Amino acid sequence: VGMMVLSSLNQEVFLTRSVRELAFEGYPDVLMMLAAVAGKGNDAGGSVDVASVLRTGYRTLVDMLKNQPEGAAGRFAYMAGRNDTFHELLTMFTGEGDISRINYLDTVDGKRRLNIWPEELCDQVRGSFGNVRPPLSTSNSETVFIPDLKRTFDLHHVADTKVGSLNTRRFAVTRDLFDKKSPDNACYNAARKNLPSGVSDFGPLQNGVPIVVSLPHFLYGSSSLFTGVDGLYPEKQQHLFYIDSEPATGASVSGRVRLQLNVLLENAPGFTSFSELGYTVLPLFWQEVVAEAQEHTLTRIRLAVLAPMLVRCTAIFLLVGSAILAIVAVISLFRSRRRRRRDVSDPSRMLRDKLAIYLDGGSFLGTRENNNGLVKDGASPVTLAAQDVPEADALLKSTAV
């Protein structure tokens, strides 16, 4: 019956479309056309005889939808109306009062629940967009909200990396993200509990269609995903979802958002093409969103990182310089006082009007001013008794020259 319906509408089970058409742009689809025709009839207050449409065929559908607005005429795309932007009103924390919650989502359209997933753990609004982390954070995990998937991803620190000359920390998804045994992932698969590890249900966002999301090439996926599908070669270097964050400022300077959409195929009654088909997860396409900070942005971040270091080094230099100057000043003062003490103990300076040279402890050779009537200045030296010059005698006895 199913094959007869498709044949009557000039349709085939398998289609060949470009990635752009499959992802965002869309293409005319018979089932979407039927839905649009039914919606048109309901809007007009009547109903559409779908059986009559099926009897008349695909051309009748096209004629019935030719006056529909562009984009509403039965087109299908897996990510229709989505381009990794969020149209709802978001409320986020700025970090004031608690810097650890900077850039963290609080509400979506004033609500703290998405009303999509059955359990509160999955349905609550939480996480950030991953572009800014708390500065100087030592946390080894990051919760990121993915707008197109209406869910959060838990990223973990997996390596220390470099972007340009900046030292960064890499946060990436791990095997636990799509693990069927993980409690954090189980509530996303409540409608399809038999999904293998490595994929997550995307149907609730697409009116229940059998679409699941995974990492490209089923990275970290169960071995059962590779049964019946050729050409899959998962590699971390090419297929990992990660963000590189500069730890001092918390700014994310590089990232790769990589996701794959897949369709669930099962043995469907009425379709001979699926008569021998077992349970298979068929990859449709995977996309990569690349984010790289430009050089001038990296320079600003580098200066922001170096500024505290420069201030600290300058302060240390000033402290060390001040200490050296203080030591030099103390040494200079000490030497100056020592020199002064030597000057006081020098007989020729203490008694500038007398010159004495100790000879034998009992007499000295010297000159003296003529105010005491001994010898005139400039006269030939004479030998005098020590008691004749008592102040010199006392000094000579305590100082050897």
What pLDDT score does 108 carry? 87
**DSSP states of 87-135 as a string?**
-S-EEE---TT-GGGTTBEEEETTBSB-S-SSSHHHHB---B-SSB--T
Q: Select from 180, 181, 124, 182 the least CA-distant residue to 156.
A: 182
Burial class (CB in 10 A: 0-12, 13-18, 19+), 160: exposed
pLDDT at 77: 79
Q: Taking the chain (401 residues) in consecutive chunks of 10 residues, what is each chunk's mean pLDDT? A: 56 75 77 61 47 49 48 66 69 90 89 88 89 91 89 94 92 93 84 89 83 94 89 94 94 94 76 67 90 90 83 85 87 79 55 46 48 46 52 53 45
What amino acid occupies position 320?
V
What are the two backbone dihedrals, phi and then psi, of residue 278, each rounded to the nearest 5 degrees? -85, -170
Burial class of 339 by CB neighbour count within 10 A (0 to 12, 13 to 18, 19+)? exposed
- What is the C-alpha to C-alpha distance for residues 298 and 305, in angstroms, rounded to an integer? 10
Q: Is the separation of the CB atoms in 143 and 126 below 8 Å?
A: yes
Token pair in block for residue 89 = 């009103």
Element (H, E) at 370: none
Q: What is the DSSP annotation of 47-70?
A: ---HHHHHHH-HHHHHHHHTTSPT
pTM of the predicted protein model: 0.68
SS3 content of the chain, % helix, strand, coil (to 5): 35, 25, 40
- Strand 280-292 relative to strand 151-163: parallel, antiparallel, unpaired? unpaired
Give CA separation, 384 vs 144, 303, 347, in Å. Answer: 106, 83, 17
DSSP state of 251: B
CA-to-CA separations, 27 to 23, 81, 226, 268, 360, in angstroms, rounded: 10, 13, 29, 24, 128
pLDDT at 375: 46
